[in-house]
Amino acid sequence: MKNRSFLKALFAIMLVLMLALTACSKESSKPADSGKTEQKGEEKEEGKNEEKAENKDGLYSIEDFNNVKTNEGEAIEGGNFTFGLVSDTPFEGTLNFNFYSGDPDFQVLQWFDEGLLTWDANYVYTNDGAATYETSEDGKTFTFKIKDNVNWHDGKPVTAEDWAFAFEVIGDPKYDGVRYGSDFSNIVGMEDYHNGKADKISGIEVVDEKTLKMTFIESTPSLLTGSIWTYPLAKHIFGDMPVDKISSSKEVREKPIGFGPFKVDSIVPGESVVLSRNDDYWRGKPKLDSVTVKVINPNVVVQALEKGEVDTVSSFPVDQYPANAEMSNVEFLGTIDRAYTYIGFKLGTWDKEKKAVKTDPNAKMADPKLRQAMWHAVDNNAVGDKFYHGLRWNATTLIPPSHPEFHDATNEGRKYDPETAKKLLDEAGFKDVDGDGMREDKNGKPLVINFASMSGGDTAEPLAQYYIQAWKAVGLNVQLLDGRLQEFNTFYDRVGQTGDDDPAVDIYQGAWGVGIDVDPRGLYGQDALFNFTRYSSAENDALLADGVSEKAFDVDYRKEVYKKWQQFMVDEVPVFPTLYRAVVVPVNKRVQNYAIGDGTGIYLGDIALTQKEELPAK
Amino acid sequence: MWKFTVRRIFVMIPQVILLSVIIFILAKMMPGDALSGLIDPNIDPATIEAKREALGLNNPWYVQYWDWIKNAVQGDLGQSFQFKMPVSEIIGQRLTNTFWLALLTLIITYLIAIPLGITSGRFNDTWGDRLITGYTYVGFGMPLFIFALVMLWIFGFKLGWFPSGGSVKPGLDPGSFEYIVSKFKHMLLPALSAALIATVGTVQYLRSEIIDIKQKDFIQTARAKGASESRVYNRHILRNSLLPIAAFFGYEITGLIGGSIFIENIFSYPGIGQLFLGSINIRDYTVVTSCVLLFGIAAILGSLLSDIILSIVDPRIRIK
């Protein structure tokens, strides 16, 4: 009997331990990737084999990559193409452009629906898409004509009415998506409609079945680069539904509709979608018979590619590239990411009343020379080579080279030069008064700069430490905020995503994915909440406003403005860019006509295969 | 018996309420919310703020809790921000997957545990027993997530015997024979991986029970009466040693529903565990709190079930 009670006790202890274990493990198994899509902050594409980077031959350069797949062999008719949607969570299943918010849904959507306008390599709308457009003299009125052969998957034509309906739904106060914003309120009458003062949007006029006229309050060149909502919403299906019920309806989640190259056949919620060819596609019948989109876990991307189980993937972890560069059954495509990493200096606070930046001239980091010196003190080329095998590299200006038209390649930013850094600090009066090797501030008081950096990935810590050492080498005492890295949500809360900036943060390392429109007002404007540095100046405002003025419709003028702005930011340094990034995507060798990036003129309907069978690695 | 069950259920109610309050507060204490992932220059911050206000995320926690619990009591768990559909629906979808996976795991666990436990208990201190206990020690020492990854790598990728992710092959008709076979195939590897680890506790327990019981007086009596060795084992020892295992059944179910987190994430199996982790990451509070509530209720129900089974199979135990 004694034995039994002992066993029971043991058992109870085991149970408790098991519970404790599960409790801990729930916490620790949280992946580094927090599932955020647009926010580029989480450093997930980290270099693991640093010793490889020591070897100069282990370095790669984005210039050696092509963004269009080379076609080998003869294409066959039909076949099934498998697209690996890399995600550690299932896709949400809000399968309509007007309602989706997560990138995984976008990866599914692109196969069966598309926008009415397409854009070229400079992100300017072209007339090659499903609709063409004309602009009035004053640039405020746009007339769109939807091509006659553009039909929904159920055979009904895509009409101007459908397009106008999309605006009515997004502008509706009950709309539960995230798309409503300045792009919409810039349409004449939209604000009134949004606030319930009007039942119609006066600036949107359906001229005839296929013609739509849109009038904007302000004309800006941004209108031509992504500021027009181009996704119609099928009115014959959604017209009678209450607006707040659309996103959860069967027609969005189970039997979604579009007018793209493929039609949805079946959906396993969160896991996979099978699509078949849309013979009535307006660009002509697609070459493939069917497409399978399925979610694959980031841990198994490489294996799935080697097996030929997927033909390509939505994203590939750059840190795994060096080990797999020689994979025999794929070709790696590469392009420059529309993103940059940067270090920002806190220069003020957010005024919630005025909804504007309040720059503090007495901020700790207020001296431009201090900021310039801190840029000169870090060697970002070394960072790119050592941590990212050259797949990230030194950034020079705040308009990344993914916008080739506006990126000023002649501007070199501030080069790594510790001597200049020291000189600048001496000039500004940051001198080592007490002889401890560290500089004091202008008044001779100790200067400690608190550095906020995000956790996630293996290199987050060494990278932050590298910067701290580089600054120490020029005599600046920089400390990690709280002595540790910050978790994603905490980081952005403290940096100021809700406007409550934490005064303890002096400098921070963040990253931005930039939109296709080059206009940087959303990140550096005076009224931008995401202007986390809280920097503002009259000249900055003037330049930013000039970049979207009517004069800026002239591309050369706009280039000139942004060239000036890039130089202005190099002089003022409210933030300095550290790294530009490459996107690398493997594509199976049996695939033809596949491209990544913008304005390639290659569309998903063009994809063809050279053999029906999967092609595994040898 | 009924009185006992009813009383247990009454005791359960404050437990669940307390659990839900704690979970809610903890969820709110996490930095960020469902909208903080939308730091994107293409989305207007004013829109985000308006959404935050509309979702009531700016209210104090007790107001939010009251709003939530008020609806939860009426069976409305709210709307998932991420999935834009009712939480009960999304949990329903995932729970079906988890339920089948858990059931299969349970079956495999007992299929392994009972023969191994019996062999090892009956022939204790032989080489066979040492082999089996050796396996259980390895099983105890091996973390599930490592073991599952190794299994996935060997059987999913190297040998290619099993699919490496998902719950069903894309494009099959739900309900068709092929669909069911495909579902089963997708479940087999995760279930096997979980069972091979989960079973070791049961094996050990069964072994020591058998060793314990076979030295009892009544067994000596049975032998003295001339019962054959197989009769002694099957009729007398086994039935007695299975009692605690039957009683443990309820806990086992709880463990499988809550413990699906590793397995589901490694095998990209869209069940409740994966939903739970994903929702924590994006701060989809309504889903997180509902999941935890579900886990909590499962745990409480599991222990209730165990108690009931115990009182049925073992008349010596009287519950007052």
Q: Residue B209's domain is classified under what CATH number?
A: 1.10.3720.10
In percent, how much of chain B has pLDDT > 90?
Answer: 2
Min Cα–Cα distance to chain A from B23, Å: 13
Q: Cα separation of B110 and B114, whole Å?
A: 6
Confidence at residue A235, expressed as pLDDT on a 0 to 100 scale:
93
The complex scores an ipTM of 0.73
Confidence at residue A88, expressed as pLDDT on a 0 to 100 scale:
75
Classify residue B302: in a domain, yes or no: no
Q: Would you tell me how many other CB atoms lie within 10 Å of the CB of residue B62?
A: 12
Q: Cα separation of B227 and B243, whole Å?
A: 22
DSSP A311: S
Q: Cα separation of A497 and A489, whole Å?
A: 9
Confidence at residue A25, expressed as pLDDT on a 0 to 100 scale:
34
pTM exceeding the 0.80 threshold for the entire prediction: no
The structure tokens 């640093």 sit at A50
The structure tokens 């996935």 sit at B152
Q: Would you tell me how many other CB atoms lie within 10 Å of the CB of residue A288?
A: 23
Task: Give the number of residues written for chain B.
Answer: 320
Q: Cα separation of B133 and B127, whole Å?
A: 10
Question: Best mutation site among A11, A96, A489, A518 for testing chain B: the one with the most B CBs within 10 Å?
Answer: A489
Residue in A with minimal Cα distance to B208:
A7
Collapse the DSSP code of A617 into the 3-class scheme (helix H, G, I; strand E, B; otherwise coil) and give the result. Answer: coil
Q: Write out chain A residues lying below 8 Å of B165, CB-based.
A: 294-297, 300
Classify residue B221: in a domain, yes or no: yes
Choose among B226, B250, B291: nearest CA to B27.
Answer: B291
Choose among B74, B75, B102, B86: nearest CA to B287.
Answer: B86
Looking at the DSSP bridge assignments, the partners of residue A343 are: A509, A576
Collapse the DSSP code of B261 into the 3-class scheme (helix H, G, I; strand E, B; otherwise coil) and give the result. Answer: helix
Classify residue B301: in a domain, yes or no: no
Report how far apart, in Å, the C-alpha atoms of A195 and of each of A191, A199, A201, A275, B177 are: 6, 10, 11, 39, 53
What does the longest C-alpha to C-alpha distance in chain B come to?
Answer: 86
Min Cα–Cα distance to chain A from B230, Å: 24
Give the residue numbers spanning the domain of B104: 90-283
Asked if B261's CB is within 8 angstroms of A273's CB, the reply is: no
Asked if B82's CB is within 8 angstroms of A265's CB, the reply is: no
Min Cα–Cα distance to chain B from A514, Å: 7
The alpha carbon dihedral of B130, B136, B140, B142 has a sign of positive
Render pLDDT for A312-362 as a digit per residue (tens, 0 to 9). Answer: 999 898 888 888 888 899 999 999 998 999 999 999 998 888 888 889 988
Classify residue B98: in a domain, yes or no: yes
| Phi, psi dihedral angles at A533 (to 5 degrees) | -75, -20
Q: CB–CB of B244/B209 below 8 Å?
A: yes
Q: CB–CB of A295/A91 below 8 Å?
A: yes
Confidence at residue A42, expressed as pLDDT on a 0 to 100 scale:
38
Nearest to B47 among A3, A178, A309 (CB): A178
Is B58 in CB contact (< 8 Å) with chain A?
A: no
Q: What is the mean pLDDT of chain B?
A: 81
pLDDT band at B261 (very low <50, low <70, confident <90, very high): confident
Classify residue B142: in a domain, yes or no: yes
Q: CB–CB of A589/A615 below 8 Å?
A: yes
Confidence at residue B259, expressed as pLDDT on a 0 to 100 scale:
67
Structure-block tokens of residue A388: 């990212």
Render pLDDT for B273-315 as a digit per residue (tens, 0 to 9). Answer: 888 888 887 778 788 888 888 888 888 788 888 877 777 777 6
Classify residue B8: in a domain, yes or no: no
Residue in A with minimal Cα distance to B152:
A300
Residue A398: partners with Cβ closer than 8 Å, 6 or more residues away = A340, A342, A520, A524, A565, A566, A569, A575, A577
Is B141 in CB contact (< 8 Å) with chain A?
A: no
Count Cβ neighbours within 10 Å for each residue of B188-222 and write b for 16 or more, e otherwise.
bbbbbbbbbbbbbbbbbbbbbbbbbbbeeeebeeb
Which residues of chain A, if any, have pLDDT below 50? 1-3, 14-55
Classify residue B241: in a domain, yes or no: yes
What's the number of domains chain B is made of?
1
Residue in B with minimal Cα distance to A513:
B40
Residue B54, pLDDT above cutoff 80 = no
Structure-block tokens of residue A127: 């007339």
| Phi, psi dihedral angles at A145 (to 5 degrees) | -125, 120
Q: CB–CB of B199/B112 below 8 Å?
A: yes
Q: Cα separation of B235 and A52, whole Å?
A: 66
Classify residue B156: in a domain, yes or no: yes
Q: Cα separation of A449 and A474, whole Å?
A: 13
Choose among B54, B49, B48, B58: nearest CA to B28.
Answer: B58
Q: Write out chain B residues lying below 8 Å of A89, CB-based.
A: 274, 277-278, 281-282
Asked if B41's CB is within 8 angstroms of A523's CB, the reply is: yes
SS (H, E, C) A107-149: HHHHHHCCCCCCECCCCCECCCCCEEEEECCCCCEEEEEECCC
Choose among A227, A240, A252, A210: nearest CA to A112.
Answer: A252
The structure tokens 């409480």 sit at B300
Higher pLDDT, B4 or A476: A476
Choose among B162, B147, B170, B184: nearest CA to B266.
Answer: B147
Q: Would you tell me how many other CB atoms lie within 10 Å of the CB of residue A9?
A: 10
Is B93 in CB contact (< 8 Å) with chain A?
A: yes
Nearest to B31 among A36, A270, A487 (CB): A487
Distance from CA of residue A202 to its chain's centroid?
A: 33
The alpha carbon dihedral of B44, B49, B50, B54 has a sign of positive
Residue in B with minimal Cα distance to A93:
B83
Q: Using DSSP bridges, classify how beta strands A608-609 and A575-588 pair: parallel, antiparallel or unpaired.
A: unpaired
Collapse the DSSP code of A519 into the 3-class scheme (helix H, G, I; strand E, B; otherwise coil) and give the result. Answer: coil
Q: Based on the number of CB atoms within 10 Å of its own CB, is A13 exposed (0-12), middle (13-18) or buried (19 or more)?
A: exposed
| Residue B202, H or E segment | helix B177-213
Q: Cα separation of A42 and A138, whole Å?
A: 43
Task: Give the number of residues written for chain A.
Answer: 618
Amino acid at A235: K
Q: Cα separation of B271 and A17, whole Å?
A: 25
Is B88 in CB contact (< 8 Å) with chain A?
A: no
Choose among B270, B289, B282: nearest CA to B78.
Answer: B289
Residue B267, pLDDT above cutoff 90 = no
Q: CB–CB of A499/A529 below 8 Å?
A: yes
Min Cα–Cα distance to chain A from B287, Å: 13
